[in-house]
Chains A and B, each alone.
Chain A
Amino acid sequence: MKFSNVMATAGEWLRGEGPHHQIVVSSRVRLARNLRNRPFPGWAKKAERTSILDLVRPRVEELTEMQDSFSEGLQELSALERQVLVERHLISREHAAKGVGSAVVMNRRQTLSIMINEEDHLRMQSIRSGLQLKQAFKLVDKIDSALESKLEFAYDPRLGYLTACPTNVGTGMRASAMLHLPGLVLSELINQVIQAVSKIGLAVRGLYGEGTEAMGNLFQISNQTTLGEKEDEIINRLSKVIETIIEKEHDARQVLLQKKSNTLWDQIGRAYGVLTYAHAMASKEALNLLSIIKLGVDLGAFPEDRRLPIDELFIDIQPAHLQKSSQQKLNAEERDHLRAQIIRERLKLFPKPDISKMARESGNGSIAQDLK
């Protein structure tokens, strides 16, 4: 499969309609694995890294799930192509900085991506739409079991799977969900939630993981610890916390509808106005406004069939996607113009926000329905 194929189709997780997909954009589970007694990628010399890659890559490519896969050495990908993969969460920012001796293999549906020689020899990730951590784990667990018969993984009976960074040792598993929480942000409750979540050993991060800013009211929640707890226990604990946050988000939206409806209409109206008529827009502003439109769809101000175009815009307006689709390198100013243009075009078919619809829908409990 070629890169143009990857580019042409959005990942299945974006189009899918997993449970709680209005609030949970995606669920991801990744496992870190290493080969026994071989230097970790960060410590290995180039020749060693290459020899590890040559050993691992064919084993990954021959997996049944990787039939018709996209498999490429990092040095073969342009900086822009790597950034596109980062924007789709198919590789990490760290991996995008790698070159000779590192590779990425992913399946056609973009539900499974395996980074070779990132921080660990293998980083296997499964990504699903909505809240589906268990299903995501199941797939990546199956891949791990298939690979362990062909490769000898570094494992210690007491410490579990051994990883380059001691924070990942044990299960080597990081489970995370991307949550869209405009209600909690607008009602200024988000910091409370973040603090509460941090206290129980879970991490809250921005759009692209560690150390990144929260944009578009998107937050990643993941497990912080990997040793001393079984995989399914970690996933259950995380899922429960996420379900609680979903409830809080719905509550916050209800309160906004009932007590601050004018503020809410104003926000949605302004977001619609600016997105429809602006001629220059930075990523951050665009994401924040699109987030409000997405909230509008959730609340019934826009028809349900407008959801996908908005979700797609979240990805398509990011810097690398913009440049890749326009087939040229653009400076920041040109990107902002192009971004505004794409948004205007996509919103042409978008009806004006229907506030009467929104008020009515909030009354007949459409929000409560989503929770069941």
Chain B
Amino acid sequence: MLCDVCKCNDATVFLTQILEGKMQKVNLCDACSKEKGVQDPTGFALADLLLGIGAAEEIEKGASTQKCPVCGFSQADFKKTGRLGCSACYITFAEGLNTLLKAMHKGTEHVGKFPQHAHRAMELNNRMRALTENLQKAVAAENYETAASLRDQIKQLESDLAS
């Protein structure tokens, strides 16, 4: 079996980590295991190591030649650095990243703090959806007076969203 890091030497160190019932395996050769600090229990975390190996492969599965439309980052860049290019990369490479995040973290969905603007945007979006629905209903019912008022409200909301 070849080493997962250098892919040329035979693996001699086999690591298995079970965290919260999820199993992760990594095979390493002697030189790579030393380089990655595997033999030093104080400095070693499998998640960090996986970033360099599994991550790039996971991302490859998701998108083969894709580049992030916002920052131009590609999967090859991720393979090199283990870091992403910008926040939009999380959407571009979502498929591969999801598998990676699942292996790395306790859950798959954020449950902690959120910025107030995100909260406001969510509320505004919900209101917009309701207004649009009502507008369609009013138009279908040929209730033009209501429709006009709804249209004005939507316009107001659009300018709020833009600001």
- A residues near B (Cβ < 8 Å) are 34-40, 42-43, 119, 141, 144-145, 148-149, 152-162, 164-167, 169-171, 173, 191, 194-195, 198-199, 201, 203-206, 210-214, 219, 224-231
Partner of A148, one of B42, B88, B117: B117
Asked if A225 and B104 make an inter-chain contact with CB atoms under 8 angstroms apart, the answer reads yes
* Chain A nearest Cβ from B97, distance in angstroms: 6
Closest Cβ neighbor of A228 among chain B residues? B107
Q: Contacts A148-B115, A159-B110, A195-B41 known; A167 to B104 CB distance under 8 Å? A: yes
Partner of A167, one of B51, B70, B77: B51
Q: Which residues of B contact A229 (CB under 8 A)?
A: 106-107, 111-112
Interface centre among A39, A203, A211 (most CB of B within 10 A): A39
* Chain A nearest Cβ from B118, distance in angstroms: 5
Q: How far is the CA of A203 from the CA of B37 in the complex (A)?
A: 14
Asked if A43 and B42 make an inter-chain contact with CB atoms under 8 angstroms apart, the answer reads no
Q: How far is the CA of A40 from the CA of B81 in the complex (A)?
A: 12
Asked if B112 and A162 make an inter-chain contact with CB atoms under 8 angstroms apart, the answer reads no
By the criterion of a CB under 8 Å from any partner CB, how many residues of chain B are at the interface?
43
Asked if A206 and B87 make an inter-chain contact with CB atoms under 8 angstroms apart, the answer reads no
Asked if B42 and A231 make an inter-chain contact with CB atoms under 8 angstroms apart, the answer reads no
* Chain A nearest Cβ from B40, distance in angstroms: 8
Q: Which residues of B contact A210 (CB under 8 A)?
A: 43, 48
In the complex, whether B83 has a CB less than 8 A from a CB of chain A is yes
Asked if B70 and A37 make an inter-chain contact with CB atoms under 8 angstroms apart, the answer reads yes
Asked if A166 and B111 make an inter-chain contact with CB atoms under 8 angstroms apart, the answer reads no
26 A-B residue pairs with CB within 8 Å: A34-B86, A40-B86, A119-B83, A144-B113, A145-B116, A149-B116, A154-B86, A154-B87, A155-B114, A156-B87, A158-B109, A159-B90, A160-B114, A165-B84, A166-B97, A166-B100, A167-B47, A169-B110, A170-B112, A199-B19, A201-B20, A219-B42, A225-B104, A229-B112, A231-B112, A231-B113
Partner of A205, one of B42, B83, B122: B42
Q: Supply 9 further A-B pairs (C-beta < 8 A) apart from A170-B112, A227-B110.
A: A119-B83, A148-B116, A159-B101, A167-B48, A195-B41, A211-B43, A225-B106, A226-B105, A229-B111
Asked if B41 and A194 make an inter-chain contact with CB atoms under 8 angstroms apart, the answer reads yes
Q: Which residues of B contact A203 (CB under 8 A)?
A: 45
Asked if A40 and B107 make an inter-chain contact with CB atoms under 8 angstroms apart, the answer reads no
Q: Which residues of B contact A214 (CB under 8 A)?
A: 42
